[in-house]
Structure 1
Amino acid sequence: MNVATEAHGSESGLTFHPMDQFEVLPLFGDGPVHWYTITNVTLWMAVSVIGVLLLLVAGSRGRAMVPSKGQSIAELTYGFVYKMVEDVTGKDAVRYFPYVMTLFIFIVFANMLGLLPMAFTTTSHIAVTGVLALLVFLFVTILGFVKNGSKFLALFWVSSAPLAVRPLLAVIELISYFVRPVSHSIRLAGNMMAGHAVIKVFAGFAAIAAISPVSVLAITAMYGLEVLVAFIQAYVFTILTCVYLKDALHPAH
């Protein structure tokens, strides 16, 4: 993450802008940003993809009996996500494991790379997390209708509830279903943005000699917490995907 501050001494005191690190900028030139413009977001998403390929393809290419560090990490990640899919969604969902694995490993790399100095946290932008969440929403919805046909609508009909309240519950279930991509995306982007902004605030105060030691300790503690948050948020996004996938495969309440 870029923790460099725009701090300077003046009559008004210290000035810094913790949200500047999330600004989308063109990689070449200073013109406006269009949908086709190559930006810092594009760059760091590409770096994340390259990191995933290096770990899962190059790192495990040897398939040695005594695995290298790269192969060990790749195998542990594979086993972790595979067990998550199997435990949450069931054995019949294992065929969709590659998609879930791709989501998890990409988000982990994007989150972790965003903690590097001068890097850009792509998952702090709702445009990125929104697309990921919308793809999950469309995937599970289409899959639900393909696998179950009209029976997929049983997801919104709480048959265990009293008949009089079922229509009301159906409306609530329908609204909550369509809110899924919003909550799914905002949760990830909001958590990544908040932690990085707090770190930059502490970094700005580190320029003041009187509180510099306290700021450095706070930055160290927050950085350690953000490493944990980076993994947890990838896990939460992925396990929610598994829950939605389970609803698509087994919609009946």
Structure 2
Amino acid sequence: MGKIFFYIVLAVVLVSGLLFAPEQSGLQIHPMEQFEVKSLFGGHVGMFSVTNVTLWMALTIVATIALLVLSTSRRAIVPSRAQSIAELAYGFIYKMVEDVAGKDAIKFFPYIMTLFIFIVVANFLGLLPMSFSTTSHIAVTAILAALVFITVTVVGFVKNGAGFLGLFWVSSAPMALRPILAIIELISYFVRPVSHSIRLAGNIMAGHAVLKVFAGFAGALGLFSFLPIFAITAVYALEVLVAFIQAYVFTILTCVYLKDALHPSH
């Protein structure tokens, strides 16, 4: 049965390639157009414009509320699929915070859980056809990373006072190297929000750009469009994995930074 379905799909692709083969030669692929911010009501994009970014961030919030609030409101003994996903996510992130940052970091669990769910839902929504991936924009990920950086820094000074500066002083190193290492540690600390944000946005943007390129090949090759379609299928499966992994990496780095704030000594 599976082979029959495969051959049917292949035949449809070949026929469509013959019927809708492009009349013009050459490839017209613009993979970065999908990241363009556009106003939903036309006109110039300004500070208060309702854009495609606004729409898909709102949908991300609605989907997050539906997953974590509505699906768990009944708290059924035999959970539904949505409730099971919410409970698995809750246990997964709770264990991560406890293992990485320590038990005294559990008070920050709601914040970290919110970060993870928002990013993973936004990543998965960005994989839908005709959607917009908000986490591919550095403006979005930079705000998330900046909030983590500010939160961790404030917590570090509030909890430890001047002792938080011990994070930059490598007491186990020789005395002559400690000032140099302190400068390196200080620079790396302020680079954190940059790498934190670029890592997420860069990976999501790169994956979507690759999908767009292969889709352009499929539209331009006509009869042989089935070749890039196979590649699209493989890349799309990889992007599903990347969507979760990047949310996981962003979250676990947040836990690592929080651990440094709560226990700053080297």
On whether the aligned pair clears a TM of 0.5, the verdict is: yes
Distance 1:28 1:177, change over 3 A: same
| Alignment partner of 1:228 out of 219, 241, 249 | 241
Is residue 98 from structure 1 mapped to residue 124 from structure 2 by the alignment? Answer: no
- Secondary structure class of the residue paired with 2:44: coil
The match for 2:34 among 21, 45, 56 is: 21
The answer on whether the counterparts of 1:126 and 1:185 sit within 8 Å (CA) in structure 2 is yes
Name the residue aligned to 1:3: none
Q: Distance in 1 between matches of 2:23 and 2:262?
A: 60
> Could you tell me which residue of structure 1 aligns to residue 96 of structure 2?
84
Task: Report the Cα offset of residue 122 of structure 1.
Answer: 0.1
* 2:75 partner letter: R
In 1, Cα distance between the equivalents of 2:47 and 2:196?
A: 23
- Using the size of structure 1 for normalisation, the TM-score is 0.95
Residue 28 of structure 2 is aligned to residue 10 of structure 1? no
**Bigger radius of gyration:** 2
Q: Which residue of 2 aligns with 1:241?
A: 254
CA distance in 1, matches of 2:110, 2:64: 13
Give the superposition deviation at 1:14.
2.0
Overall identity of the aligned pairs, in %: 71
1:69 aligns with one of 81, 86, 89: 81
For the residues of structure 2 that align with 1:71 and 1:81, how far apart are their CA atoms?
15
**Structure 2 match to 1:175:** 187
Asked if structure 2 preserves the Cα contact closer than 8 Å seen for 1:205 and 1:211, the reply is: no
Measure the CA separation in 1 of the matches of 2:48 and 2:265: 43
Shift of 1:190: 0.2
Consecutive unaligned residues in structure 1, runs of 5 or more: 1-6
Q: Deviations along 1:153-175, whole A, 9 cap, x unmatched? A: 00000001111000000000000
Choose the corresponding residue for 2:227, options 190, 214, 217: 214
Q: Deviations over 1:201-234 (max 9, x none)?
A: 0000102124311101000000000000000000
Aligned-pair CA distance for 1:9: 3.7
CA distance in 1, matches of 2:49, 2:83: 36
Contact between 2:38 and 2:51, CA under 8 Å: does it hold in 1?
yes
Deviations 1:180-205 (A, max 9, x none): 00000000000000000001100001
**Contact 1:86 1:94 survives alignment (8 Å):** yes
Q: Judge conservation of contact 2:22–2:222 (CA < 8 Å) in 1.
A: no
Contact 1:55 1:74 in 2 (8 A): yes
Asked if 1:143 is matched to 2:155, the reply is yes
- Say which SS state the counterpart of residue 152 (structure 1) adopts: helix
Paired with 2:22 and 2:190, the residues of 1 have a C-alpha distance of 47
The question of whether the paired residues in 2 share the 8 Å contact of 1:85 and 1:97 is answered with yes
The equivalent of 2:18 in structure 1 is none
Q: TM-score, normalised by structure 2?
A: 0.90
1:32 deviates by 1.5
Instruction: Write the distance in 1 (CA, Å) between the matches of 2:53 and 2:149.
Output: 23
State the 4+ residue runs in structure 1 displaced beyond 4 angstroms. none
Q: Helix, strand or coil: the match of 1:34?
A: coil
Question: 1:155·1:247 contact (CA, 8 Å) conserved in 2?
Answer: yes
Contact 1:144 1:248 in 2 (8 A): yes
Q: CA shift at 1:8, angstroms? A: 5.2
The letter of the residue matching 1:233 is: Q
What's the offset of the Cα at 1:145? 0.3
